[in-house]
Amino acid sequence: MKNLRKILIIFLLTLGWQLTVLGQDQPETSVWTSSRPDGHAPIGVMGDHMHKKGEWMISYRFMNMNMKDNYRDSDELSDAEVLQDFMIVPLDMTMNMHMFGVMYAISDKITLMGMLNYTRLSMDHLTRSGVVFNTESSSLADSKLTALYQLFSKNRQSIHLNAGISIPTGSQDNRDATPMGENQKLPYPMQIGSGTLDFLPGVTYLGQADKLSWGAQVAAVLRTGENDEGYTFGNKANFTSWIAYRWLDWVSTSLRLNGNSTGKIDGADDDLNPMMVQTANPDNFGGEQLFASLGANFQLPAGVFSGTRIGLEYALPVYQNLNGPQLGINNNFTLGIQYSF
C-alpha cells in the first residue's frame, strides 16, 4: 500500500503539471476536439476518446511485451537464488497481442466499443539440472464491450465514464510439453483468459490547448466469481496520465506515466504444483508497477487516407514492486492503426 501511495502521488503531480499548462495559451475553439493528431490519446490507452453521433471507427493494434529478470518486492533476484526455492526458473517471456476494435457513437454522449484480442505467449526456463526449455500458448483472449458516457465537455476539457465488461472468451487450459512430460497444463501466466466475467469501470479526463493536450484515466479490472479451473485472477487498478505536443497538423508526440496495482491469485488450479516453479504458485502474482512511455500519433492527410491515424508507443518500467519471485516487465511496444468514417 505504501508503494500504491507513491504511484498516486506521482499521478497527482503530473495531473497538477497538466492543469498549470491549462491557462497558458488562448483557445482557438471552446470545445475539446478529436480532429487533431493528439485528439486521440497515446495508442496504449484504451477508451480514451468519444465519437460524434453516427461515426464508426475500426482499429488494429499490435502489442509486443517483453518480460525479463525475476523480482521479489523491488529487488532483482539471480537465477541461482530462484533455483534455491524452485526446480525451475523462468528466464524471460514474450507476449504478442493482435487487438481488433470497433467503436460506434449512438449519440454525441454515448460511444460503444468492442474489442477482440488474439494473444501468443512464449516463456523460456532453466531447470536446476541446467536444461533450458520453452513453452508456448496462443488463443483468442477475453473480449471486451464498453460504453463511454460523456459527463462534461466545456472549455476544451471533457470527462467521460468508461463502463465495460470482459467476457471470458480466452482459454485457461493451455498445455505444452515440459520436462515433466508431454501435454502438461501450463502455469497461470501462460493462460490467456481470466475465465471470469470481469467489470471494467473507469473515468477519463481530457484537456486541450493550442499546441498542447493532456489527459488522465483511472480504470479497474474487477473479477467476479471463480473460473472452471478453481481460481480468480487478482483485481487491478490502473492510473495513467499523459501530455502531448502537436508539432504539425498531422503529427504529435507524447509522454505518459502508467501505474498499476494488481492483487494475487485467489484459489488455485489443482493441476499445478506450486513447489515446482514460481509461476504455479498463486502468491507470486500482482504487485505495483510504474511505466514511462514515449509515443507519436500521425493523422494522415485528407483525401485517400482521410480518417486514418497511426500511433506508436514505447514504454519502459520506472519502478516495479512485485509479489515474487515474479518476472518483471522489460519493455512494451504498441503500434496501432485507426480508421474513422
Backbone angles phi, psi at 313, to 5 degrees: -150, 140
Choose which of 7, 103, 219, 221 interacts with Cu ion (CB under 5 A).
103
- Closer to Cu ion by CB, 115 or 290: give it: 115
Stretch that binds Cu ion, among 103-111, 161-169, 265-273, 313-321 (CB under 5 A): 103-111
Do 221 and 166 contact (CB within 8 A), yes or no?
yes
Size of the site for Cu ion (CB under 5 A): 2
Do 316 and 331 contact (CB within 8 A), yes or no?
yes
What distance in Å separates the CA atoms of residue 202 and residue 148, rounded to the nearest whole number? 9
What distance in Å separates the CA atoms of residue 256 and residue 243, rounded to the nearest whole number? 7
Using the structure block, give the residue that is written with the C-alpha cell 478529436. 34
What distance in Å separates the CA atoms of residue 312 and residue 103, rounded to the nearest whole number? 20
- Closer to Cu ion by CB, 250 or 319: give it: 250
What distance in Å separates the CA atoms of residue 216 and residue 294, rounded to the nearest whole number? 15
Q: How far is the CB of 58 from Cu ion (least distance, A)?
A: 9
Q: How far is the CB of 216 from Cu ion (least distance, A)?
A: 18
CB count in 10 Å sphere of residue 177: 13
- Closer to Cu ion by CB, 103 or 290: give it: 103
Tell me the chain's radius of gyration from C-alpha atoms: 21
Backbone angles phi, psi at 28, to 5 degrees: -95, -20
Binding mask 279-298 for Cu ion (x = CB under 5 A): --------------------
Stretch that binds Cu ion, among 101-109, 133-141, 208-216, 234-242 (CB under 5 A): 101-109
Q: How far is the CB of 149 from Cu ion (least distance, A)?
A: 15
Stretch that binds Cu ion, among 100-108, 205-213, 219-227, 237-245 (CB under 5 A): 100-108
Q: How far is the CB of 308 from Cu ion (least distance, A)?
A: 12
- Closer to Cu ion by CB, 57 or 121: give it: 57
Binding mask 51-70 for Cu ion (x = CB under 5 A): ------x-------------
41 touches Cu ion by CB under 5 A: no
- Closer to Cu ion by CB, 61 or 156: give it: 61
Q: How far is the CB of 336 from Cu ion (least distance, A)?
A: 11
DSSP 33: -
Q: How far is the CB of 35 from Cu ion (least distance, A)?
A: 12
- Closer to Cu ion by CB, 147 or 268: give it: 147
Q: Look at residue 337 and give its three-state secondary structure.
A: strand
With CA atoms as reference, report the closest residue to 260 among 231, 294, 234: 234
What distance in Å separates the CA atoms of residue 27 and residue 22, rounded to the nearest whole number? 10
Write the CB contacts of 9 (distance below 8 Å, at least 6 apart in sequence).
Answer: none
Q: How far is the CB of 243 from Cu ion (least distance, A)?
A: 20
Which residues contact Cu ion (rule: CB under 5 A)?
57, 103
